[in-house]
Structure 1
Amino acid sequence: MKEIAIIGSGFSSLAAACYLSAGGNDVTIYEKNNTVGGRARQLCKEGFTFDIGPTWYWMPDVFERFFADFNKKPSDYYQLIKLNPAYSVYFGKNETITIEDTLEKICAAFEKEEPGSSKKLKNFIAKAQNNYDVAIKDLVYRPGVSPFELVTPVTMKKIGQFFSTISKEVRKKFNNPKLVSILEFPVLFLGAKPSNTPAFYSFMNYADFGLGTFHPKNGMYSVIEGMKSLAQELGVTIKTEQTVEEIVVESNKVSALKINGETITADIVVSGADYHHTETLLDKPYRQYSEAYWEKKTFAPSSLLFYVGFDKKVENVDHHTLFFDVDFEAHSKAIYDDPAWPEKPLFYASFPSKTDATAAPEGKEAGIFLIPLAPGLKDSPELRETYFEKIINRFETLTNQKVKNYVIFKESFCVNDFVEQYNSYKGNAYGLANTLMQTAFLRPNLKSNKVNNLFFTGQLTVPGPGVPPSLISGKLVAGLVQNQIEKS
């Protein structure tokens, strides 16, 4: 039995803790904040409940696979509601496209916009499903230790898809700019421009149109609570308000953590905290990646988020609503090419109280608004206020209603908060983007090559950004740790 210390308590850390404890180890999680969940925490205020972090539940099969590894089901811990519609998209006033809960209904919506497109969509999603079966059922469960993990008879047949892009493949088949935007939207979860994302990642379109969008009752935080319960059932100790100040190395091997001024010994350390930050807890000779390395990487966006309590029900929106009424390219450029606050931002809004009565008091509405931003931007209360005004004015015009005067309160979260609360590199929200040169073995390693018994997990390492990949990352790192224990 090894004493394993895990830094952080997000999805990847909780997953790793479950596997390692089930493997017979003494596992303790050390979380810097006062509640578990990492970026997936909760804000409760005046009877309203908001997910601070992720709000989309996609790829339900990944969650099922995780719980099944412990002879459990998600329904043992939380209830899922399949959303219909999954989401709607505003392209202008009285210009919306609604994505419903079956491929047949989505095909009908496409056909209405572009005659002949439904047949193309069915073919596109069939290919995306095939990619999903290859990627999510096999490739992403490989730990990224060798390029040969990607070389299989199946992937060799798909080699062209790694060198083409989502954007090219979508535009070959669809002419209508609205349909193009909807098909390019899911890869934003991978943190990169569609024009920089390999075509193979079309499996995200199958996740969207083929599997659908779900809402866990009481919000995404109920998934964290379920994982926390499972971890504790398996014997994991969880400690909050534990700031890790140093990773102590002796003879090139982890020996302890310094936490809140106290030295706590450990045989093995797994960090689910920000990768760059974790390496700053080591003396320089033990860091694998230089500041120059991180500086050159393509990071997924940061975000400006608002959590708003409305003193009325909000109309003409769905649980998830996207606002694509401005130039997608111009906003993308402001995130990835010339980092700046976007002149006219696209934004996303979530109204969990449309589905879940627990999210807001009766007759009121909980609203979450998100603007994707380049990481590392200047962040100030004045800028946040300016951008709230921009989006709320557009929101009122597009949805044809007045809401500003019904705001009971609003809380914001932006670059500075990501840095302060999560030690996030440049305040990024989603980790490292999944570009071709940042895929699989080309991402930062799960295992330190400079310090024995030091491992990493989460969105900056394998397999990448997003909640399902974080669960998988926890499983992958636990597998590497167990292999090492068995060999020693």
Structure 2
Amino acid sequence: MGNGKLRKRIAVIGSGFSGLSAAAYAAKSGNEVHVFERHDQPGGRARQFRTPEGYIFDMGPSWYWMPDIIEGFFRDFDCNVSDFYELVSLDPQFEMVFSEEKVSVPEKNEAIRELFEKIEPGSAKKYDKFMQSAKFKYEVGMKDFVTKPCHNWLEFASPKIAVSALKLDLLSNFRKYVSSYFSDSKLRSLMEFPVIFLGAAPQNIPALYSLMNYGGYVLGTKYPLGGFYQLVWAMKEVAEKQGVTFHFGHEVQKLNTQNGKITSISVDGEDHEFDVVIASSDYHHTETLIPESLRNYDNAYWKSKTFAPSCLIYYLGIKGKIQHLKHHTLFFENNLDDHIDSIYRDKRWPEQPLFYSCCPSKTDSGVAPENCENLFLLLPLASGINDEESVREKYLKEMLKRIENHTGENDLISRIEYKKSYCVSDFISDYNAYEGNAYGLANILSQTAVLKPKIRNKKIRNLFYTGQLTVPGPGVPPSIISGKIVATEVSKLKIK
């Protein structure tokens, strides 16, 4: 594809992880690639901001899991993660706070086994068995399964996948699967928590996703010094080395079509001609940029889908140190199912929420002024609900109270030096996110693989979609893979 006559002029809309990935791979294949980003910096949901007081906040992802998948992106361009940033391995990986006690998950796998054995005698062997199976799912799932463009089921008809299909546990539900190994409620919560952000109740997610436990616990929880945004900068640099041009502060308003083909895109009132468009913007939003008759899906389709949660986020700068708080802490003192029901069944604010706190200043002195803490709080929520400031504040007070109970600190609210909240309506205004979702489509069986929104427009031959609303799904590593899948499909397209 490197020969001159097949060189395509490609527009990528959005510079989140899938957009950065798609741009880098498409340019590597010899194309002229332009990325249009409405914000003044790359990263999409993974942007970063600095405050006058000296705090540096990652706006989105904070769990650096599946490091081998991320490393794989850089290896494809003959470089390594270590060329761009330093990864620190967290020990403990995280702490889980229950109503009666707290459990710290250690860095080393051997120590995790011992922890399980201590909580539930006999469970170390079960943990080994669980992780052995999870490793298989990770290796087949993340290397073979998720790399398919998912045009149809025939792609999965290889002997390897056929043989693996039963072992992948696609048809058994995650909750039953976990409880077949462990009876202690804390151990079950430890195993179930990673899938909450896949966007469904554990009983509705295929057991295939135990691969998350392997990709996190066994491969370890990392942190890039300088913040998660280091990954964004690194991917942008890789893309630029391939010849990608970035246009920041430029919003694509319309995709102009003729005879089943995009001829040009309208950016800030000007038309620019392109051979191919790759949209890493919100899928539903992208389709509003083309005539209704040419869209892959109508509004009824989107309404019928199960979306992963939105969330309430607080970025807080706190004066003084918070003793006894870890880098990652999960506050699970309340009932998981009640919180999940509030998201998926009732679509309301939870009465007794669970939440997550990230305090990167515990690992990285550069993200907060001296003797201060950088605190990021996240509470998963139903998408599409009312998120006025007074409601946000009520939940902030509750979260801070529970951090005080956990750490023994007093009156954290009076020590707040910087405060910014981010919720459903912000996801809509900043990212055109459908109903303000934060994590794309839920990974339930009826929305897996071929059953996800297609990466290619069925009526416009040169329009492709990438990102968390298409294959393989939500999360940073899947989004990076999504960009690669689409770039590969674009390289097969013959320009007429």
Q: What range describes the TM-score normalised by the shorter chain of this pair?
A: over 0.9
The reply to whether residue 442 of structure 1 matches residue 451 of structure 2 is: yes
CA deviations 1:196-243 (Å, max 9, x no partner) are 110111111111221011001101101000011111111100011111
Alignment of 1:212-291 (within 5 A): 212-291=220-299
CA distance in 2, matches of 1:54, 1:422: 15
CA deviations 1:71-126 (Å, max 9, x no partner) are 11111111111111110100026x11011112111111111111111111111011
Contact 1:92 1:398 in 2 (8 A): no
Indicate the residue corresponding to 1:12 in structure 2. Answer: 18
Contact 1:5 1:27 in 2 (8 A): yes
Indicate the residue corresponding to 1:427 in structure 2. Answer: 436
CA distance in 2, matches of 1:152, 1:181: 35
CA distance in 2, matches of 1:159, 1:209: 24
CA distance in 2, matches of 1:228, 1:71: 15
Indicate the residue corresponding to 1:41 in structure 2. Answer: 47
Which residue among 212, 215, 234 is the counterpart of 1:207? 215
Amino acid at match of 1:195: Q
CA distance in 1, matches of 2:451, 2:171: 15
The reply to whether residue 70 of structure 1 matches residue 47 of structure 2 is: no
Amino acid at match of 2:417: I
Contact 2:66 2:215 in 1 (8 A): yes
The reply to whether residue 321 of structure 1 matches residue 297 of structure 2 is: no
| Structure 1 runs not aligned, ≥5 long | none
Indicate the residue corresponding to 2:355 in structure 1. Answer: 347
Amino acid at match of 1:472: I
DSSP 3-state at the match of 1:81:
strand
Indicate the residue corresponding to 1:367 in structure 2. Answer: 375
DSSP 3-state at the match of 2:400:
helix
Amino acid at match of 1:79: E
Indicate the residue corresponding to 1:298 in structure 2. Answer: 306
Amino acid at match of 1:162: L
Percentage identity across paired residues of the two chains: 45
CA deviations 1:267-319 (Å, max 9, x no partner) are 11000000000000111111110100000111010010000001011111111
Which residue among 46, 50, 58 is the counterpart of 1:51? 58
Indicate the residue corresponding to 1:466 in structure 2. Answer: 475
Detail structure 1 runs of 4+ shifted over 6 Å in the superposition.
none
DSSP 3-state at the match of 1:419:
helix
Contact 2:197 2:309 in 1 (8 A): no
Alignment of 1:144-163 (within 5 A): 144-157=150-163, 158-159=165-166, 161-163=169-171
| Structure 2 runs not aligned, ≥5 long | 1-6
Which residue among 35, 44, 52 is the counterpart of 1:29? 35
Amino acid at match of 1:47: G
DSSP 3-state at the match of 2:112:
helix
Which residue among 97, 114, 125 is the counterpart of 2:120? 114
Contact 2:307 2:442 in 1 (8 A): yes
CA distance in 2, matches of 1:200, 1:222: 30
Indicate the residue corresponding to 1:198 in structure 2. Answer: 206
Amino acid at match of 1:433: A
Amino acid at match of 1:409: Y
The reply to whether residue 395 of structure 1 matches residue 403 of structure 2 is: yes
Indicate the residue corresponding to 1:451 in structure 2. Answer: 460
CA distance in 1, matches of 2:141, 2:405: 41
CA deviations 1:249-281 (Å, max 9, x no partner) are 011101111111111111110000000000001
Indicate the residue corresponding to 1:338 in structure 2. Answer: 346
CA distance in 1, matches of 2:173, 2:160: 19
CA distance in 1, matches of 2:92, 2:157: 38
Larger deviation, residues 425-434 vs 189-198:
189-198
Deviation at 1:154, TM superposition (A): 4.2
DSSP 3-state at the match of 2:461:
coil
Contact 1:9 1:38 in 2 (8 A): yes
CA distance in 2, matches of 1:208, 1:72: 23
Query: How many pairs are equivalent?
Result: 486
Deviation at 1:396, TM superposition (A): 1.1
Indicate the residue corresponding to 1:182 in structure 2. Answer: 190
CA deviations 1:39-86 (Å, max 9, x no partner) are 100121111111101011111111111111111111111111111111
Amino acid at match of 1:478: A
Which residue among 122, 131, 142 is the counterpart of 2:137? 131
Deviation at 1:172, TM superposition (A): 1.4
Contact 1:268 1:454 in 2 (8 A): yes
Amino acid at match of 1:393: K
**TM-score normalized by structure 2?**
0.96
CA distance in 2, matches of 1:38, 1:339: 26
CA distance in 1, matches of 2:120, 2:160: 33
Deviation at 1:150, TM superposition (A): 2.8
Deviation at 1:423, TM superposition (A): 0.3
Deviation at 1:159, TM superposition (A): 2.9
CA distance in 2, matches of 1:407, 1:258: 43
Deviation at 1:24, TM superposition (A): 0.9
Amino acid at match of 2:491: Q
Indicate the residue corresponding to 1:312 in structure 2. Answer: 320
Contact 2:312 2:423 in 1 (8 A): yes
CA distance in 2, matches of 1:288, 1:337: 27
Contact 1:448 1:454 in 2 (8 A): yes
DSSP 3-state at the match of 1:263:
strand
Indicate the residue corresponding to 1:88 in structure 2. Answer: 95
CA distance in 1, matches of 2:57, 2:196: 22
The reply to whether residue 60 of structure 1 matches residue 71 of structure 2 is: no
Contact 1:139 1:149 in 2 (8 A): no
DSSP 3-state at the match of 2:170:
helix
Q: Compute the RMSD of aligned alpha carbons.
A: 1.2
Which residue among 400, 416, 420 is the counterpart of 1:411? 420
CA distance in 2, matches of 1:314, 1:146: 52
Contact 1:7 1:13 in 2 (8 A): yes
CA distance in 1, matches of 2:29, 2:156: 28
Which residue among 124, 127, 140 is the counterpart of 2:146? 140
CA distance in 1, matches of 2:144, 2:170: 16
Contact 2:322 2:407 in 1 (8 A): no
Amino acid at match of 1:253: K
Deviation at 1:468, TM superposition (A): 0.1
